[in-house]
Amino acid sequence: MGHTFAICPQCQGLNKLNSDDALKKTPLCGKCGKEISLHGLVSEVNTQNFERILKKSDLPVVVDFWASWCGPCKSYGPEYEKASKENTNAVFLKINTEAEQMLSAKYNIRGIPCTLLFKNGIEVKRQPGAMSAQDVRNFLNSP
């Protein structure tokens, strides 16, 4: 049984959520009780919340850097969401490159979508371009 992390949009509380429970029903914030919106097991985060989750996670963290105007990003979104549901051994995050330009620059994101994998808070690999859910699984589990 896996878990994921999500930030409450109301109180900004960091929540560790049981993956199975989060897939069955809308999770509630443990601090304020408000609903937490997920896409599968994917959380959209800003820079501050990304760094909070990266520090707290005991699981690998997979991050999709994307933008709303990007056609390949739009086609990748559902596959990324599907991958999150099938791989509860990782935390899946999305970062909007338009809203988080400084973070995108920090990680040298030059093309989108771009998927990064972090272990113990350190980037261990990246894959530019859209992938299938199976490709994401292979990306996550390959050395």
Q: Which of 8, 29, 73, 114 is catalytic?
A: 73
Active site residue 70: yes
Which of 8, 29, 70, 114 is an active site residue? 70
pTM of this structure: 0.94
Domains for the chain: give ranges and CATH numbers.
41-141 (3.40.30.10)
Mind listing the pLDDT tens digit of every residue in the chain (143 residues)? 689 999 999 999 999 999 999 999 999 999 999 999 899 999 999 999 999 999 999 999 999 999 999 999 999 999 999 999 999 999 999 999 999 999 999 999 999 999 999 999 999 999 999 999 999 999 999 88
DSSP 58: S
Question: Is 29 considered catalytic here?
Answer: no
- Which token pair is 31? 């601090």
